[in-house]
Amino acid sequence: MEYTVTVFLFLGILPLLNSMNSSSSSAAHRCFCQVTGHLDDCTCDVESIDAFNNMELFPKLQKLLESDYFRFYKVNLNKPCPFWEENSHCGSRYCAVNPCKANEVPEGIKSSSFKYSEEASNELQECEKAEKLGSVDSSLSEETRRALLDWNRHDDVEDRFCVVDDEESPDSQYVDLLLNPERFTGYKGTEAWQIWNSIYEENCFKPNTVKRPLNPMERYREKDGRSFYRWLEGQCVEKRAFFRLVSGLHASISVHLSARYLLDDNWFERKWGHNISEFQQRFDEELTKGEGPKRLRNLYFLYLIELRALSKVLPFFKLPSFQLYTGQPSQDQRNKELLLEVLHVAKSFPLHFDEASLFTGNLQEAAKLKEDFKLTFRNISRIMDCVGCFKCRLWGKLQTQGLGTALKILFSERQIEALPKSRSPNPTFQLTRQEIVALFNAFGRISTSIRELENFRSLLSKVH
């Protein structure tokens, strides 16, 4: 999601680069001085994540995401905004998404969303007919049998943290993610500010007494730009974590659009690359009144959460019945081996986030808080249908679904651990192909952001 939606946090603080250069501290220091050492609510540090991601995980993950199974994502970009009247769309040609033609998508992918392999799919269908319906009670009416199937689908929906698109809708189309990359599109203005403003104002457990103006130019007239974040100090660790996840996602998107910015566009050349001033406007400590480095630290927090989910979901992908099914058996097998290699690398990280620290209080309160998490994040996923830039909407929907899938995994630990011993044809934990594609591509975006920070450190070190 490369949209300039993020501009609502950062617009209005555009002093000339010359005045920035006159500062006593270096540009790199102002962006990264606090992005180091121990992370709050974690046992990990920034430097360990940098070394692990950039040297061990990033190269393997990028190779996996280039495979057919992970590059095709089915999405409905024509769903109406459920919260407000949304008639304006980004007029830039870079906002457009080019959907796949029917013959461009492998036949194996254009199958059931739960289909992991042809053999497994056939077996599952037969078992469901024999055991889930017939074996329960052969005298059940057709109406009752349909109700049982509906309950099963409802249970699966209840496990999700996102509102997902109906893959059977005629408006849902496959998109090749490699041909529609996330980058700067020029999407900005009031409509763009409204997206993130709605997320922070209404969906981050923020007290009503704490206000953030729609126009960020107003906020930066305050003497102390840090005041907005003071409300977090009195929140429980779970609500702080939720805010940091959203802020981390926001920061990751900002890094993407700064790293793949349209630097030159004329009749003979179109050049995309790193825009240093754009990055500074979002993360420089002075330009953001101290907020920028906090955003980058939240990016590392988000990385730890999704990395933990990948390490936890390994038993699911190790099941013999699971295949990255595209209809190309030899390639599918190689890709599954690469997938398992990526997951084993993720599991090997020595300083994982400990989710046991969350929801440890009163059982009733903990259950209520978990449900609030789920409902609030579903709301955020619905807001993505209000984004006016179609390419931004594509990557926004994918990344929120990916994070929602990571949360689903972390809250399903017992079901996942039981998978290798279960003989049920309908296990309590399942992932659709869409969830799998979103999970890995969303983490791929965060992994790329961490890698890009190294590039920006190097570039900023040359700005005096």
DSSP 66-116: TSHHHHEEEEETTPPPSSS-------SGGG---BPPGGGS-TTTSS-TT-S
| Residues that constitute the known binding site for FAD | 183, 185, 196, 247, 250, 282
pLDDT of 328-364, one tens digit each? 899 999 999 999 999 999 999 998 887 777 766 666 7
Q: What is the pLDDT of residue 185?
A: 84
Angle at 204 (CA atoms; ends 48, 411), nearest 5 degrees: 60
Q: What is the pLDDT of residue 400?
A: 94
Indicate the pLDDT class of residue 232, thresholds 50, 70 and 90.
low
Highest-scoring range by mean pLDDT, 29-43, 89-103, 128-142, 145-159 = 89-103
Statement: residue 393 has pLDDT above 90: yes
Q: What is the pLDDT of residue 137?
A: 45
Indicate the pLDDT class of residue 377, thresholds 50, 70 and 90.
confident
Statement: residue 128 has pLDDT above 50: no
pLDDT of 362-371, one tens digit each? 667 667 777 8
Q: What is the pLDDT of residue 346?
A: 96
| Residues that constitute the known binding site | 183, 185, 196, 247, 250, 282
Whose structure tokens read 């754009």?
278
Angle at 240 (CA atoms; ends 198, 398), nearest 5 degrees: 50
Q: What is the pLDDT of residue 221?
A: 41
Q: What is the pLDDT of residue 318?
A: 93
pLDDT of 406-452, one tens digit each? 999 988 888 898 888 877 667 778 899 999 999 999 999 999 999 99
Q: Where are the alpha helices (DSSP H) in 101-189?
A: 118-127, 142-158
Statement: residue 20 has pLDDT above 90: no
Indicate the pLDDT class of residue 391, thresholds 50, 70 and 90.
very high
Active-site residue, from 90, 162, 386, 392: 392
Q: Regarding predicted confidence, which is higher, 304 or 22?
A: 304
| Among 167, 166, 173, residue whose Cα is nearest residue 97 | 173
Residues of the chain above pLDDT 70, percent: 72
pLDDT of 298-322, one tens digit each? 999 999 999 999 999 999 999 988 8
Indicate the pLDDT class of residue 34, thresholds 50, 70 and 90.
confident
- 392 assigned to active site: yes
Statement: residue 43 has pLDDT above 50: yes
* Rounded mean pLDDT, 291-295: 89
H helices then E strands: how many in the chain? 19, 4
Q: What is the pLDDT of residue 10?
A: 35
* Rounded mean pLDDT, 195-220: 61
Question: Which has the minimum average pLDDT: 34-43, 72-81, 85-94?
Answer: 85-94
Question: Which has the minimum average pLDDT: 18-22, 54-58, 110-114?
Answer: 18-22
Contact 174, 434 (CB under 8 A): no
Q: What is the pLDDT of residue 361?
A: 62
Indicate the pLDDT class of residue 219, thresholds 50, 70 and 90.
very low
Statement: residue 374 has pLDDT above 80: yes
Angle at 375 (CA atoms; ends 374, 379), nearest 5 degrees: 115
Statement: residue 257 has pLDDT above 70: yes
**Beta pairing partners, 232:** none
- 31 assigned to active site: no
Q: What is the pLDDT of residue 429?
A: 87
CA–CA distances in Å: residue 136 to residues 149, 210, 428: 12, 54, 17
Sign of CA dihedral 454, 395, 324, 426: positive
* Rounded mean pLDDT, 12-39: 60
pLDDT of 129-173, one tens digit each? 444 443 444 444 555 444 444 434 434 556 677 777 777 788 899
Q: What is the pLDDT of residue 48?
A: 94
Q: Regarding predicted confidence, which is higher, 123 or 338?
A: 338
Statement: residue 233 has pLDDT above 70: no
Q: What is the pLDDT of residue 25?
A: 57
Q: What is the pLDDT of residue 150?
A: 42
Q: What is the pLDDT of residue 146?
A: 47
Whose structure tokens read 């899938």?
405
Whose structure tokens read 């049982």?
148
